[in-house]
Structure 1
Amino acid sequence: MPLPPTPTAHPGHVVAGSDAPEKRRLRVGFIALTDCAPLVIAVARGYDRKYGLEIVLERQPSWAAVRDKLLSGELDAAHALYGLGYGVQLGVGGPQHDMAMLMSLNQGGQAITLARALAPRVRSGAQLARLVRASAERYTFAHTFPTGSHAMLLYYWLAVHGIDPLRDIRSVVIPPPQMAEHLRRGEVDGYCVGEPWNALAQSQGKGYTIALTSEVWRDHPEKVLACTRDFADRHPHAARALIMALLEACRYLDVPANREEAASWLALPDYVDAPRDVIAARLLPGRDPHAGVPGIRFFADGEANYPYLSDGMWLLTQYRRWGMLRAAPDYAGVARAVNRLDLYREAAAQLGIAAPAGPSRSSMLIDGKVWDGSAPAAYADSFAIHA
């Protein structure tokens, strides 16, 4: 597929003089997932060149590889799990290292899939709970990284239905592109992962989607643009230019017709390398399997991209809930250190994208609990099922 011509420059952007990127060629990692679309589109449509950058995309085999290459400097930035950076910041998702989250790349777009063999008996979380309690052996569920959103949303969904994810099941870590194959071989009974690996299992008749993660938390935070704090501090202009290029890509992806093109790009061997129709099945608006549940959001006038402090703090409450943290952290302090609101706001302002008045938002999750970041310690202690 040939590259389209570079778009006309936005009159407000500056890529020369003192605002020029300190480093123009950036190595950016990604995992083969539908929500890497902003990076693929930024390169395919030339948004990186528009802001004086050359993004070199490098597909990675696992989130652990993304983490390790960010910390070693082999990658300048990456499409990453929100919780990957937070785990590393706290030293619970790998060696401690100060991290930076530059923007959110999407909300939603993940799902929980079960093995087809369970379909006759399990069509709801309540039915799964009865099956788990009646079984003499523990069922095995996979997620993609210990501190990642897939693990935390899967645990939340299980616990809502009375399943203790630390005692009633066995959990394992599997890289996203390998999920459907592990399900096919009978090595796991279910998993939580991003698309298209839920849609693929369903299209092959090996699994079925029992819940979208948007049913757990509507418009939940998902992937982010991550780098080390050192990179952001040493290359603020490059980081800002990268945010601008990806904001342009996210805005492009909000147009339904443009997602048709994106599905074709993502299907290529260098990117997701999955059937185009499988990718499109849950990328295009109106194709999601659960009526009334929002699908993946990339922009929403910038609402999907703002790095809300409360989003990161929610992950911290779940780490505390599940015993990953021995004591309550400085919730707001950690979030302020990781989420680079300054760089995001500067980049958004250049593009005329409004930023919210405050750094937090309010959401109601599947259990009726409201999360707004105002009382994180009490929230973390409020769950009946916990470590």
Structure 2
Amino acid sequence: MATRSQNRVEKIRTFSIGSSNRGLNIGFVPMTDCAPLIAAKELGLFERTGLEVNLSREAGWATVRERMRHRELDASHAHASMIFELGCGLGLDSVPCLTGLVLSHNGSAISFSHELWELGVRDARSLKRVVEEFRGRRKFRFGVVLKFSTQNYLLRSWLRDGGVDPDKDVQLVVVPPPQVFPCMMKGHIDGYCAGEPWSSIGLIEGSCWCAALTDEVERMHPEKVLLVHQELARDRHDEHIALISALIEAAEYCDKPINRADLASMLAAPNYFDVSKDALLNALQGPFQRGMGEQSSALDAIVFRRNNASQPTEAKARWVLSEINRNGLTETPLDLTQDEIRSFFRMDFYEEAERILAAA
């Protein structure tokens, strides 16, 4: 007799029959928040739903952007803001795209060098005092992974809360995620805001310290999404919905504490992250080692599925838009209608995938 799980898989597989048999090329940058993609691949969830998926490791977000522009990727793990960056043509040609799934919430940390600790920095207000002390002699430099990223928005917010003007008092530079820690160790930057595991690598080694997790700056902020070309969603609808369904199941797996150790082992593999399992477990399992002998809970350090994290809601889209506008990252503020916003964040696709899973 077929099990409920087998019946569920067969219904999803049947749904995807009749769609194009060309494989899907999906990009990811080695960040912990791409975990649902890797889990879906390693657990056979793509295959079970009739999908042929190639996961393509990318060097950084600029590479993802260019490969999406040139249609070399069908979809990608991406910053939520990249939907508007590409879709609205912010600084480049417009590339119509959308998301039917949020991959993660939270997942980043603000980390600084030992030198700043020795200078007395403990939080944004004490950083303000050090900035004032060195004014005219040195401008401290901090890395963010992308102009249109939550790391940029939340580091700016954290700085402003302490009285530091992110555009005048310090210098913010864009550094690819895997390079933030090496750049700090070489003295090119004094700290950074980056997604896991790139803060934890330094924290585990005792080479930096964490001033704040981004969830402490903005509770349950949306982070990464599944970025998809609009034409793929239109022309290969069944595959797209099957893809979302597989990733919803993978996100459920990733969010269960009992699976976190195995998940870390998957991500640590040379073909994915090629980093230590301990660095991945710092945020996935905790307690989160913050450096300088301090630690905290990792309960909400990164969230994949809980608290409706997977839903691409209009409210999440509006939060992203508000941060782009609040930080003055475009020549003129982005003013989108409700219909335009909903055309980028597609709850209808997500709900269709959920219905299939519920019926299976």
User: TM over 0.5: same fold?
Assistant: yes
CA distance in 2 between counterparts of 1:180 and 1:214 reads: 21
CA distance in 2 between counterparts of 1:263 and 1:147 reads: 28
Asked whether the equivalents of residues 101 and 226 of structure 1 are also in contact (C-alpha less than 8 Å), the reply is yes
Task: Give the match for residue 160 of structure 1.
Answer: 161
The 5 Å alignment of 1:181-260 reads 181-260=182-261
- Which shifted more, 255-264 or 283-292? 283-292
Q: Which amino acid aligns with 2:355?
A: A
CA distance in 1 between counterparts of 2:15 and 2:321 reads: 40
SS of structure 2 residue aligned to 1:10:
helix
Q: What count of residue pairs does the alignment treat as equivalent?
A: 346
Gaps spanning 5+ residues in structure 1: where?
Answer: 1-6, 354-387
Q: Which amino acid aligns with 1:300?
A: R
1:76-127 deviation per Cα after TM superposition (whole angstroms, max 9, x unaligned): 1111111122212222253322211120011111111111111131111111
Runs of 4+ in 1 over 6 A off after TM superposition: none
Normalised by the length of structure 2, the TM-score is: 0.91
Deviation of the 1:9 alpha carbon: 4.8
Match of 2:106 among 105, 108, 116: 108
Question: Structure 1 residue 312 and structure 2 residue 312: aligned?
Answer: no
SS of structure 1 residue aligned to 2:106:
coil
Task: Give the match for residue 297 of structure 1.
Answer: 303
Deviation of the 1:220 alpha carbon: 0.8
CA distance in 1 between counterparts of 2:272 and 2:25 reads: 15
Asked whether the equivalents of residues 286 and 297 of structure 2 are also in contact (C-alpha less than 8 Å), the reply is no
CA distance in 1 between counterparts of 2:337 and 2:30 reads: 31
Task: Give the match for residue 279 of structure 2.
Answer: 278
Deviation of the 1:157 alpha carbon: 1.4
Match of 2:55 among 54, 57, 61: 57
The 5 Å alignment of 1:142-161 reads 142-161=143-162
SS of structure 2 residue aligned to 1:132:
helix
Q: Which amino acid aligns with 1:319?
A: I
Deviation of the 1:12 alpha carbon: 7.5
Identity of aligned residues (%): 33
Task: Give the match for residue 123 of structure 2.
Answer: 124
CA distance in 1 between counterparts of 2:279 and 2:263 reads: 13
SS of structure 2 residue aligned to 1:224:
strand
Normalised by the length of structure 1, the TM-score is: 0.84
CA distance in 1 between counterparts of 2:9 and 2:110 reads: 43
Gaps spanning 5+ residues in structure 2: where?
Answer: 290-294
CA distance in 1 between counterparts of 2:179 and 2:162 reads: 27
Task: Give the match for residue 349 of structure 2.
Answer: 343
- Which shifted more, 141-150 or 309-318? 309-318
Asked whether the equivalents of residues 28 and 55 of structure 2 are also in contact (C-alpha less than 8 Å), the reply is yes
SS of structure 2 residue aligned to 1:253:
helix
CA distance in 1 between counterparts of 2:58 and 2:126 reads: 37
Task: Give the match for residue 370 of structure 1.
Answer: none
Question: Structure 1 residues 28 and 17 mapped into 2: Cα distance closer, same or farther (>3 Å)?
Answer: closer
Match of 1:91 among 89, 97, 105: 89
SS of structure 2 residue aligned to 1:73:
coil
1:201-221 deviation per Cα after TM superposition (whole angstroms, max 9, x unaligned): 112222111100001111110
Q: Which has the higher contact order (CA 8 A, sep 6+)?
A: 2
CA distance in 2 between counterparts of 1:206 and 1:93 reads: 36
CA distance in 1 between counterparts of 2:234 and 2:54 reads: 21
SS of structure 2 residue aligned to 1:122:
coil
Question: Structure 1 residues 328 and 69 mapped into 2: Cα distance closer, same or farther (>3 Å)?
Answer: closer
Return the structure number with greater helix share: 2
SS of structure 1 residue aligned to 2:81:
helix
Asked whether the equivalents of residues 115 and 206 of structure 1 are also in contact (C-alpha less than 8 Å), the reply is yes
Deviation of the 1:22 alpha carbon: 2.9
Asked whether the equivalents of residues 92 and 147 of structure 1 are also in contact (C-alpha less than 8 Å), the reply is no
CA distance in 1 between counterparts of 2:7 and 2:252 reads: 15
SS of structure 1 residue aligned to 2:101:
strand
CA distance in 2 between counterparts of 1:111 and 1:329 reads: 30
Asked whether the equivalents of residues 283 and 298 of structure 2 are also in contact (C-alpha less than 8 Å), the reply is no
SS of structure 1 residue aligned to 2:184:
helix
CA distance in 2 between counterparts of 1:54 and 1:18 reads: 11
CA distance in 2 between counterparts of 1:195 and 1:315 reads: 20
Question: Structure 1 residues 161 and 182 mapped into 2: Cα distance closer, same or farther (>3 Å)?
Answer: same
Deviation of the 1:264 alpha carbon: 0.4
- Which shifted more, 126-135 or 41-50? 126-135
Asked whether the equivalents of residues 93 and 146 of structure 1 are also in contact (C-alpha less than 8 Å), the reply is no
Deviation of the 1:169 alpha carbon: 1.1
Q: Which amino acid aligns with 1:299?
A: R
CA distance in 2 between counterparts of 1:250 and 1:285 reads: 19
RMSD: 2.0
